[in-house]
Structures are given as structure tokens and as C-alpha cells.
Amino acid sequence: MRIIDAHCHVGQGKHKQQTVAELLRSMDENHIERAVIVPVEEQIAFHNEAGNAGVLEAVKGSGGRLAGFAVVNPWSGRQGIDMVRRYLDAGLRGVKLNTALHGLYLHDELVLELVAGVRDYRVPFFVHTGTPMYALPMHLRELAREFPDLNFIMGHMGAYDFVSDYPRAIEGLRNIYLDTSLTLSNFIKAAVATAGADRVIFGSDAPRSTQKFELENVLRAIDDPEVLDQVLYRNINRLLGG
């Protein structure tokens, strides 16, 4: 069974602390082949350059086991867009958005300008959802409708009080995928039935949660080997470009 964890953090922040070595050790213990990494919250919110540089360094030193997503504060405008493009050129494979840290709605004009500014790279966007009032599933729906040629991963599937909103958020759209992190097994099982196995992606959000716990949630929800292969490996591998 091949496994890619689509969402992990590396760095030393106030709320999250995880070194690359600790992540790789957890991956070995849980038989996870690859992981997608992003910086910690401080670097998503403000210290974007330092966060992206750290992620790129970790990716280059991982022997192919790590892929990285760039982060940017949409308030930084053209300067931020140019920074993201520079890191995508250097080898990062997507963009992480957490607009709740920036005080912006997901479909704010500044966010639209950012996404449009890197649209030609055709990389996936991992989008945090579950934080009112700025980052909710229906907000992501509006963003995804603006860019039908791009793919968006709904982080945490809306999380907690808003997980029931994802079916309406993805209705009629094929460019929103559902991330399993911080989501209970019954919701993961329902997501496969509602969205289809080709649109659900395993993520752990480590170190907020653990790869072991989040992987066990998926394994409790899904017993079909073909579906597991899609959720744990093939879907995110396809979005990363194989």
C-alpha cells in the first residue's frame, strides 16, 4: 500500500513544532512514502519568505520524499505573487492558502488576484477551511467557480461545525477535492460516497494531529483496496503531477 500525506507542517512556531527529521521518522513508522509540507502559521501569516525558503531546503534535502507548497499573504499583492512564482520555478508544487490568518474571505479580490497571478502554473491549491467567518466551504466554492481550470483541496473538509457544508460546496464542481485531516471516520466514509473516491485525499495536518491517528481514521472508514489506493496515494499523486 503506497501512501502520500497531503498536508504536514515543518518549523518551530507557537502552536506547531516539527522538524524535518521528526516528520521523516513519523513517515517511516507509518509506512508513508511521501508528504507535502508547508510552513507553520507564523510563516503563513507573515514571514512568507523564510517559510518558503525553509520548505524548499527541506524538499531538496529529502531525496524525493517531500514535496512543498508555497505560502503567501495576499495583502502583499504583486510582490507576493512574484515570490510565489519564484518558488514554484524553484521546485515547489502547489500553494497553501489560509485566509483566516490574513483577515480575508476566500473569495476576496486580493485572493482572486493572487490565484490569477499564478494560474498559468496549473498547480493545486490547498485551502484551509473551517474557520468562521473567513474560511468556510461555501467560500471555497466561490473561489473554485472563478477558476474552473485549477484544482483546490478543501482542507479538513470544512472541519467540525462546517463539515456538513461540503456536499453543497462541491455540488456541480469537479475541481474541489476533500482533505481528510481532522475529520472523523464516519465523515470520511460519507465523503467517498458523496464526492467519489477520486476526490478524497489523505492528509494528517501533522503535528496538529499525528499521522498514525489520521491514517487509522481513513483505514476505519474504507475497506476497499482500490478506494484506499485512490485516497491514500493516487489522487494527490495526480495533482502533484505524478
pLDDT tens, 9-25? 999 999 999 999 999 99
Task: Kindly report the backbone phi and psi dihedral angles of residue 68, in degrees, each rounded to the nearest multiple of 5, phi listed first.
Answer: -120, 145
Ranges assigned E (strand) in 46-194? 66-71, 94-97, 125-128, 152-155, 176-179
- The confidence score (pLDDT) of residue 236 equals 98
The upper half-sphere exposure of residue 164, i.e. CA atoms within 13 Å in the direction of its Cβ, equals 1
- Give the Cα-Cα-Cα angle 62, 64, 69 (nearest 5 degrees): 85
Name the nearest CA neighbour of 236 among 153, 156, 170: 153
Contact 44, 38 (CB under 8 A): yes
Query: Is residue 34 classed as helix, strand or coil in its secondary structure?
Result: strand
- Residue 109 burial by CB count (10 A; 0-12/13-18/19+): exposed, middle or buried? exposed
Joined together, the cell numbers standing for residue 166 give 461540503
Distance CA 13, CA 102 (A): 17
- The phi-psi region of residue 17 (left if phi > 0; otherwise alpha if psi is between -120 and 50; otherwise beta) is beta
For 214-235, b where at least 16 C-beta lie within 10 A, e where not — what string? bbebbeebbeeeebbbbbbbbb
- The confidence score (pLDDT) of residue 195 equals 97
| Cα distance from N-terminal residue to C-terminal residue, the chain | 17
Joined together, the cell numbers standing for residue 30 give 507509518
For the chain, list the domains and their CATH numbers. 4-239 (3.20.20.140)
Listed as ranges, residues in the chain with pLDDT below 50 are none
- The confidence score (pLDDT) of residue 242 equals 78
Is the Cα torsion angle 25, 215, 169, 147 positive or negative in sign?
A: positive
Ranges assigned E (strand) in the chain? 4-9, 11-12, 17-18, 34-38, 66-71, 94-97, 125-128, 152-155, 176-179, 200-201
Query: Is residue 9 classed as helix, strand or coil in its secondary structure?
Result: strand
- The confidence score (pLDDT) of residue 160 equals 83
Task: Kindly report the backbone phi and psi dihedral angles of residue 25, in degrees, each rounded to the nearest multiple of 5, phi listed first.
Answer: -65, -40
